[in-house]
């Protein structure tokens, strides 16, 4: 199965939902504070840009990349700045992977690339030619949940659920890597996934039970 | 993030050509992409080096270890030879970052990573490292995490790597390949103290590429390990850390390799501690007396005076863990 996305179907890089070219909160605040108004840079497609980014926004370099996502081969042209996370969410509509910190500090964006768990927010999509990506959407077998997904349900291992897709992907990696010898070992090897609701006890239990059933 | 073009190097020659023209090498990208998003880094061209044949871990003829620059942190840590010959390297790696980041980040990239100083990462703050001549907001700012050793009046940022502390302790060498050929640089000379040029962080020439880090053979038996002290138990940078390797024969310490992390502008080798240990028999009092020298020359800042005592205790504890007592 192959999905060819023509170039025209790709949203422009400066669109509202293209955070890789948007200013960070910090540069936004700094820019607006410096001039005391929201006219510092310019508004393109509803997004405020700082001056030098406006100048550079003419033709940001793009590249064509083919990768397999959850078993489906996809070819797409992306702004080089696009992260795998933004590609998945904004262009492929796979919104299971979440954007938390967008800096590799929270783990909400965890997916598998070529069999290894990684932070998709720090992965440049353009570098994934030929890669195999698995997201939370690709974990279940039809209607049958992955055992760790089921364990999260059984153990009630979440409250708000925002970190859950990342926790589950990371947990699958943790089990595959064999770091489930004790609750302490699971905690250490799951430490790249932060849960603000504090569901760690139940998350660890879900990972532990799934590992034991293998 | 500023726009950039990207080329993928099929071989080292292509990489060096692109590097010579000013392209920035990207491997795991965990630091670079993050800093590009903050616009701290603004490369015009990235050179993807992930296809280069630098992924081997091999035992050298004399019994040392050579780790290819593109071996991931996870693979390096789990490698049976790294684990058996130099546990301090495996431990330092596995106490770094998260499992996800260790799958992405490489050995070469790890020692190239840039400081976590919040003012360096904030493009609206004064920072001589990011913008030479602009000043140092950390010097009299919130400097709890900053350096007490090796700093200058223009920069007090720490080097954040853990495994670099192990490499410094073990006196590793960095293998480089550049337009003018290969060369090796002792680890102690590879990472630069800030002085008046904190923007210059490594002894790299334009276009040079790290190909491997080599740990020299050390007399056996060798016991080694890494201790990291931090604000939370995992997934956090060090307040202080200690890498220790000891060769003890017939009850006497014959070789001692010790370095500290989280306290210096570069991984901080502790020759005074090493000298105090060599020729002596392990004992509780020896560990304490040797560790007393760990903070020699320290110049703490307003918010990190605690690091002086914490460093000594970190080194003392790790000497005891590795060397035991008799």
Query: In terms of DSSP bridges, do strands A132-134 and A62-69 run parallel, antiparallel, or are they unpaired?
Result: parallel
- Which of A104, A165, A167, A195 should one mutate to test binding to chain B, selecting the residue with the greatest count of B CBs within 10 A? A104
B272 touches chain A (CB under 8 A): no
- What are the angstrom distances between the C-alpha of A121 and each of A87, A91, A109, B99? 10, 15, 6, 15
The secondary element (H helix, E strand) that includes residue B97 is none
**Percent above pLDDT 70 for chain A:** 73
* CA-based R_g, chain A, Å: 19
Of the partner residues B26, B34, B74, the one whose CB lies closest to the CB of residue A104 = B34
Last-in-domain residue among B182, B215, B248: B215
A184 touches chain B (CB under 8 A): no
Two tokens at A137?
């959407």
Shared-domain flag, residues B234 and B309: yes
Of the partner residues A27, A110, A188, the one whose CB lies closest to the CB of residue B39 = A27
Q: Are A31 and A40 in contact (CB under 8 A)?
A: yes
The verdict on a CB contact (< 8 Å) between B122 and A26 is: yes
Q: Are B208 and B169 in contact (CB under 8 A)?
A: no
CATH number at residue B28: 3.30.43
Contacts of A20 in chain B (CB under 8 A): 1, 37
Residue B150 counted as domain residue: no
Spell out the SS3 assignment of B101-165: HHHHCEHHHHHHCCCCCHHHHCCCCCECCCCCCCCECCCCCCCCCCCCECCCCCCCCCCCCCHHH
Among B114, B108, B109, smallest CA distance to B41 is for B114
Shared-domain flag, residues B210 and B298: no
Q: What's the pLDDT score for residue A60?
A: 95
Q: What's the pLDDT score for residue A25?
A: 52
- Omega cis (within 30) before B221: yes
The three-class DSSP label of residue A124 is strand
The verdict on a CB contact (< 8 Å) between A192 and B235 is: yes
CA distance A138 to chain B (A): 19
Shared-domain flag, residues B251 and B269: yes
Shared-domain flag, residues B81 and B199: yes
* Model-level ipTM above the cut of 0.90: yes
Least confident range from A54-63, A167-176, A193-202: namely A54-63
Shared-domain flag, residues B73 and B174: yes
Shared-domain flag, residues B37 and B90: no
- Which of B36, B99, B122 should one mutate to test binding to chain A, selecting the residue with the greatest count of A CBs within 10 A? B99
What is d(CA B251, CA B245) in angstroms, rounded to the nearest whole number? Answer: 15
Q: In this predicted model, what pLDDT tens digit does every residue of A20-39 receive, in sequence order?
A: 445 555 554 454 444 443 34
How many domains does chain B contain in total? 3
Among B150, B120, B114, B115, smallest CA distance to B138 is for B120
Beta bridge partners of B136: B127
Residue B107 counted as domain residue: yes
- Residue B5 phi/psi, 5-degree rounding, is -100, 160
B59 touches chain A (CB under 8 A): no
Q: In this predicted model, what pLDDT tens digit does every residue of B175-228 receive, in sequence order?
A: 999 999 999 999 999 999 999 999 999 999 999 999 999 999 999 999 999 999
Q: Which regions of chain A carry the CATH code 3.10.20.30?
A: 62-138
Shared-domain flag, residues B86 and B100: yes
Shared-domain flag, residues B70 and B87: yes
Contacts A–B by Cβ distance under 8 A: 106
The verdict on a CB contact (< 8 Å) between A80 and B6 is: yes
The verdict on a CB contact (< 8 Å) between B234 and A80 is: no
pLDDT at B149 over 90: yes
Shared-domain flag, residues B278 and B308: yes
Shared-domain flag, residues B190 and B276: no
Residue B132 counted as domain residue: no
The DSSP 8-state label assigned to residue A41 in this structure reads: S
The three-class DSSP label of residue B83 is helix
The whole domain housing B271 covers 223-323
CATH number at residue B289: 3.30.390.50
CATH code assigned to A147-213: 1.10.150.120
Residue B198 counted as domain residue: yes
A26 touches chain B (CB under 8 A): yes
Q: Which regions of chain A carry the CATH code 1.10.150.120?
A: 147-213
The DSSP 8-state label assigned to residue A168 in this structure reads: H
Its CATH class, for the domain covering A62-138, is alpha beta
Q: What's the pLDDT score for residue A56?
A: 53
Shared-domain flag, residues B169 and B292: no
Q: What's the pLDDT score for residue A157?
A: 98
Q: Between residues 78 and 97 of chain B, which touch chain A (CB distance below 8 Å)?
A: 97
Q: What's the pLDDT score for residue A179?
A: 98
What is d(CA A206, CA A168) in angstroms, rounded to the nearest whole number? Answer: 9
Q: What's the pLDDT score for residue B325?
A: 79
Residue B25 counted as domain residue: yes
- Which of A191, A193, A194 should one mutate to test binding to chain B, selecting the residue with the greatest count of B CBs within 10 A? A191
Q: In this predicted model, what pLDDT tens digit does every residue of B265-300 receive, in sequence order?
A: 999 999 999 999 999 999 999 999 999 999 999 999
- Which of B72, B100, B103, B124 should one mutate to test binding to chain A, selecting the residue with the greatest count of A CBs within 10 A? B100
**Longest CA span, chain B:** 62
Last-in-domain residue among B215, B245, B276: B215
The verdict on a CB contact (< 8 Å) between A63 and B33 is: no
């Amino acid at each position: 199965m192959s999905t060819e996305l023509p170039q025209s179907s790709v949203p422009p890089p400066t669109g509202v939902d293209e955070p890789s070219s948007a200013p960070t909160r910090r540069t936004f605040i700094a820019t607006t504070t410096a001039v005391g108004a929201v006219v510092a840079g310019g508004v393109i497609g509803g997004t405020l840009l700082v001056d030098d980014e406006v100048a550079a926004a003419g033709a940001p370099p793009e590249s064509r990349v083919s990768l397999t996502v959850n078993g489906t081969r996809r070819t797409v042209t992306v702004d080089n700045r696009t992260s795998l996370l933004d590609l998945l969410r904004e262009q492929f509509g796979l919104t299971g992977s979440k954007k938390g910190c967008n800096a590799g500090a929270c783990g909400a964006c965890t997916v598998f690339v070529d069999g290894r768990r990684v932070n998709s927010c720090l992965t440049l999509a353009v570098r994934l030619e030929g890669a195999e990506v698995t997201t939370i959407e690709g974990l279940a077998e039809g209607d049958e949940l992955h055992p760790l997904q089921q364990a999260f349900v059984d153990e009630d291992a979440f409250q708000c659920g925002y970190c859950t897709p990342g926790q589950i992907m990371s947990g699958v990696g943790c089990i595959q890597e064999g770091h489930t010898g004790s609750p302490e070992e699971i905690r250490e090897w799951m430490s790249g996934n932060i849960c603000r609701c504090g569901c760690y006890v139940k998350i660890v239990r879900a990972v532990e039970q799934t590992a034991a059933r293998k | 993030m500023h726009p950039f073009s990207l080329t993928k190097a099929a071989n080292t020659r292509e990489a060096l050509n692109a590097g010579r023209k000013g392209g920035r090498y990207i491997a795991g990208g965990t630091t670079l992409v993050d800093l590009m998003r903050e616009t701290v880094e603004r490369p015009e061209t990235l050179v993807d080096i992930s296809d280069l044949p630098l992924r081997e871990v091999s035992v050298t003829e004399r019994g040392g270890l050579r780790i290819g620059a593109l071996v991931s942190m996870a693979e390096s840590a789990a490698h049976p030879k790294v684990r058996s010959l130099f546990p301090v390297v495996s431990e330092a790696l596995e106490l770094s970052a998260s499992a996800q980041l260790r799958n992405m980040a490489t050995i070469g990239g790890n020692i190239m990573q840039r400081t976590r100083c919040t003012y360096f990462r904030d493009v609206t703050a004064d920072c001589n490292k990011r913008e030479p001549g602009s000043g140092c907001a950390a010097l009299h700012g919130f400097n709890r995490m900053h350096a007490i050793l090796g700093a200058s009046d223009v920069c007090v940022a720490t080097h954040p790597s853990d495994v670099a502390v192990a490499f410094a302790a073990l006196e590793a060498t960095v293998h480089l390949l550049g337009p003018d050929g290969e060369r090796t640089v002792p680890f102690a000379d590879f990472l630069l103290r800030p002085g008046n040029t904190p923007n210059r962080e490594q002894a790299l020439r334009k276009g040079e590429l790290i190909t491997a880090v080599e740990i020299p053979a050390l007399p056996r038996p060798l016991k080694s390990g890494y201790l990291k002290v931090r604000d939370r138990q995992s997934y956090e940078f060090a307040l202080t850390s200690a890498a220790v390797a000891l060769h003890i024969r017939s009850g006497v310490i014959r070789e001692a390799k010790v370095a500290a992390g989280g306290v210096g502008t570069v991984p901080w080798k502790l020759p005074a501690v090493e000298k105090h240990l060599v020729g002596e028999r392990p004992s509780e009092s020896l560990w304490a007396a040797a560790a007393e020298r760990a903070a020699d020359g320290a110049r703490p800042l307003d918010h990190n005076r605690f690091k002086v005592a914490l460093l000594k205790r970190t080194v003392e504890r790790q000497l005891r863990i590795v060397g035991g007592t008799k």
